[in-house]
Amino acid sequence: MKDGIDVKLNMHLNPAAFNEETKTVAARVLKDAALHVLQVSNMRVPLQEGHLQNSGDTAVDHNDMRASISYSQPYAVAQHENLDWKHAPGREAKYLETALEEEAAAVKAMIAQQLKELFK
């Protein structure tokens, strides 16, 4: 996070469902899912010079089994929340929230398929 301001969403798996051996793989699954949402969000993020888009990042907390997706430019929250600002075609406010909502089924399927493989 830069300058203490970011737009962030989280994905979470139940850590009790994994042992130490499977946690590493499950963390990779979460990372893949977060990267997918980030990629979709990057196609919508307001774009002028690319600084906001380039500040997008993902992180995985292996203990909590939580993946985070964030944008860390000082103006990320304002760009995300202000519905009155005009953007180029295909670019929009709520770029991260909308990406996660619209990709929720795909992300759940991605996670389920990869975890199914893990627990075969």
Contact 73, 48 (CB under 8 A): no
Average pLDDT over residues 53-71: 91
pLDDT tens digits along 11-43: 778 888 888 888 888 899 999 999 999 999 999
SS3 7: strand
Residue 3 above 70 pLDDT? no
Residue 58 above 60 pLDDT? yes
What is the identity of the amino acid at 37? V
Q: How far apart are CA 9 and CA 100, in angstroms?
A: 8
Contacts of 53 (CB under 8 A, 6+ apart): 42, 45, 47
Sheet holding 57-61, edge to edge: 7-12, 66-71, 57-61
Split at pLDDT 50, 70, 90, the class of 10 is low
How far is the CA of 75 from the CAs of 2, 11, 51, in angstroms? Answer: 10, 23, 10
